Amino acid sequence: MKSSLVVTVLNEEFTISKLLESIKYQTVLPDEVVVVDGGSDDNTVKILKEFQKNHSEINFKVIIKKGNRSIGRNEGIKNACGDIILITDAGCLLDKNWVKEISKPFENTLIDVVAGYYKGVATSSFQRALIPYVLVMPDKIDRNNFLPATRSMALKKDVWLELGGFNTSLSHNEDYIFARNIKKNNKNIYFASKAIVYWIPRNSFRSSFTMFCRFAYGDIEAGVLRPKVLMIFLRYFLAITLLFYSFITSNLTLLGILILFMLLYILWAINKNKKYMSKKTDLLYLPSIQILSDLAVMYGSVKGYLK
C-alpha cells in the first residue's frame, strides 16, 4: 500500500526547515509528502518551494488552501494518492524511523488507525517544566486507550472518508474530536510506541498561556467539558470566596488556612512532576506553570463559552 505524509502549516518559517530535514532523513520515505499551507504571510511557502526544488528524489507537493487546520488536513488527504495517510504537525521533528514504525502496523489488515508517540525536546528549565503539562508522559501511557493525535498518527484513507474527515468548523482540538470519533465508531487503533515525534515546547510564559488558552477554547468550541476543568474553576472559586470572606470579617485564622492551602497547592505542583525534571532549577518553574495553565484554561473556557 502507498503512503502519503500530510502536514498543515501556517507561518512556520522558523520551524519548518527542521521538520523538512527530519522528513528527508527518514530510513523509509513515504511515497509522497503533501504540505498544505493555510495562507502564510511569512517565508513559509518560499522555504517549501525551495525544498521541493532541491529534493527531486522526494515526491513533494505544496498546496495553498486558506482556512483552519481541519480544512488544510482534509484538503491534503483528499489530494493524497496513498492508501495510508501519515500525519504530523509543524513545530515537530520526526524520529528517523518514524515513517517505518508508524506504517508497519498496517501489515495487519485489521488495523485501521495507528497512534504514534511524542516526546518533548527541551533546551531550558522552562521547557522541561512545561512538557508534563502538555504531553502524556511515558509512565502514564495506557496502551489500550491511547488516542491518536495529529503530532504522530496514521490511518487508512478509507477510514477518513467513512468518518467524514476532520470537522472544519473546529479551529482548535480538532484532532481530539476526530480521535473520539474514531473510538466511537469502533475502529481498531494500534499504539506504536516506537513511532516517535519530537515536539518543541513553547519557550515563554506568554506563548504558553496562549497555547493552554487555545486548548481550553477548543474544548468548549467542540462541546467538551472535562472534569479536570470543572475542578480548576471550583478550586479558584473557593479560594477567592475564602479570601474575600476573611478580609470582610478580619478573620486571620481563615486567612492563615487559605495561605496554608496555597502552599500545599504549590508543593503538590512540584511533587507531581518533579520526577520528570533533570535539574533542580526546573523545579522552580513548576508552580508558576501550574498557575499559568490554570488561569489560561479558565480564560479560554470562558472565552469559548461566551462565543
Phi first, then psi: what are they for 35, rounded to 5°?
-110, 125
Rounded to the nearest 5 degrees, what angle is found at the Cα of 277, between the Cα atoms of 274 and 282?
95
Could you give the CA distance from residue 149 to residue 114 in angstroms, rounded to a whole number?
10
Q: What is the pLDDT of residue 225?
A: 87
For residue 120, name the pLDDT band (cuts at 50, 70, 90). Answer: very high
What one-character DSSP code corresponds to residue 259?
Answer: H
Which domains are seen in the chain, by residue range?
3-199 (3.90.550.10), 205-306 (no CATH)
Q: What is the pLDDT of residue 133?
A: 96
Q: What is the pLDDT of residue 249?
A: 87
* Residue 113 and residue 35 in contact, taking contact as beta carbons nearer than 8 Å: no
Q: What is the pLDDT of residue 51?
A: 95
What one-character DSSP code corresponds to residue 175?
Answer: H
* Residue 119 and residue 94 in contact, taking contact as beta carbons nearer than 8 Å: no
Average pLDDT over residues 154-171: 95
Query: Closest by alpha carbon to 29, among 129, 90, 107, 102?
Result: 102
Could you give the CA distance from residue 135 to residue 129 in angstroms, rounded to a whole number?
11
Q: What is the pLDDT of residues 28-87, one digit of tens each?
A: 999 999 999 999 999 999 999 999 999 989 999 999 999 999 999 999 999 999 999 999
Bridge partners, 3 (sequence order): 84
Q: What is the pLDDT of residues 88-112, one digit of tens each?
A: 998 899 999 999 999 999 999 999 9
Q: Which residue has better confidence, 71 or 1?
A: 71
Q: What is the pLDDT of residue 93?
A: 95
Beta strand 3-9 pairing with 60-64 = unpaired
Q: Is residue 264's pLDDT more than 90? A: yes
Q: What is the pLDDT of residue 173?
A: 86
Q: What is the pLDDT of residue 208?
A: 97
Q: What is the pLDDT of residue 171?
A: 83
Rounded to the nearest 5 degrees, what angle is found at the Cα of 46, between the Cα atoms of 34 and 157?
10
Which cell is 307 given? 462565543
Q: Is residue 255's pLDDT more than 90? A: no
Could you give the CA distance from residue 219 to residue 224 in angstroms, rounded to a whole number?
5
Could you give the CA distance from residue 129 to residue 136 in angstroms, rounded to a whole number?
13
Average pLDDT over residues 208-218: 95
Q: Is residue 245's pLDDT more than 90? A: no
For residue 222, name the pLDDT band (cuts at 50, 70, 90). Answer: confident
Q: How confident is the prediction for the chain on average, in pLDDT? A: 94
